Amino acid sequence: MAISISATSTVFDRELAVAGAVQLAVLGVVSAAVGLSPLGWVAGLVFALVTGLLLVRHDAAGRALAAGAANQVTLARATLVGGVTALVAAGASGPQLVVLVAIGSVAIALDGLDGYLARRNNTVSVLGARFDMEVDAFLILVLSVLVCRTVGPWVLAIGLMRYAFVAAMFVMPRLRATLPFSRARKVVAAMQGGLLVAAAAPIWPLEVAVGLAAVALVALAWSFGRDVWWLLAH
């Protein structure tokens, strides 16, 4: 059993190494296509490095359970998020913004595929679910930083809300309880990336971008507010 876990965790580590190489390729392609400033390169590489370090420090059994097709999709999405992060740090505008919207749209479109593959292949794991959630959360944060530049600083509340909730868990232990399944929560979470990417697209009047971001913020505030109320009430 120990040998099996060790071998499978090695597969996970190999998948992670390949993703690191793919991240370099994504940044290289973006740089060749639309240019990427030194700050953009640093942001993309730091994102990849921190992601890798957080994953490899997980125990071997957890990495073994997460290895497979689902993890490969999540890693692929993470490399796209790294590209988005690099472009936002580089101050994306013009052609860069078009490429950012395209990359972000693919990352969002792939959301859910990793979960489907994990369930189909019986590789559902705590690490895989957490990794998927953190990739989503960071993408929302980076997109909110991008959109706030044109719409206003209030958009940052969208990206920071989940991290504020996590911080609140340390102050209020009752918030650490397990929430019941909610399809509405999943729908609202899925909406965030799409609405922010749409708001960032350079095809709308400012008023449309403001409206899209406002819908995302109101929906997310409602979802978090409902969950917090349930946790405190129970």
- Over residues 178-211, the pLDDT tens digits come to 889 899 998 999 899 999 999 999 999 999 999 9
Confidence of residue 2 (pLDDT cuts 50, 70, 90): very low
Span 26-49, average pLDDT: 97
Angle of helix 95-109 relative to helix 2-34, nearest 10 degrees, comes to 150
Ranges 2-16, 23-37, 209-223: which has the least confidence? 2-16
Which segment of 3-7, 127-131, 208-212 scores lowest on mean pLDDT? Answer: 3-7
Please tell me which residue, 135 or 10, carries the higher pLDDT value: 135
Q: Which band of pLDDT confidence, cut at 50, 70 and 90, is reported for residue 152?
A: very high
Each residue of 134-166: b (16+ CB within 10 Å) or e? bbbbbbbbbbbbbbbeebeeebebbbebbeeee
Cα–Cα distance, 92 to 36 (Å, whole number): 9
User: What contacts 210, CB < 8 A, 6 or more positions away?
Assistant: 151, 152, 199
Q: 45 Cβ partners below 8 Å, 6+ apart?
A: 23, 27
Please check the confidence at residue 3 and state whether its pLDDT lies above 50: no
**pLDDT over 60 at 125, yes or no:** yes
Between 20 and 60, where is the model more confident?
20
Mind listing the pLDDT tens digit for each residue in 83-97? 999 999 999 999 999
- Round the average pLDDT of the chain to a whole number and report it: 92
Residue 6 has a pLDDT of 61
Nearest to 80 by CA among 125, 126, 123, 29: 29
**Per-residue model confidence as pLDDT tens digits over 131-149:** 999 999 999 999 999 999 9
Question: What is the pLDDT confidence band of residue 15, given thresholds at 50, 70 and 90?
Answer: very high
Residue 194: count of CB within 10 angstroms of its CB:
17
Q: What domains sit in the chain, N to C, each tagged with a CATH number?
A: 2-233 (1.20.120)
Task: Name which residue leads in pLDDT, 7 or 145.
Answer: 145
Q: Answer whether residue 118 shows pLDDT above 90.
A: no
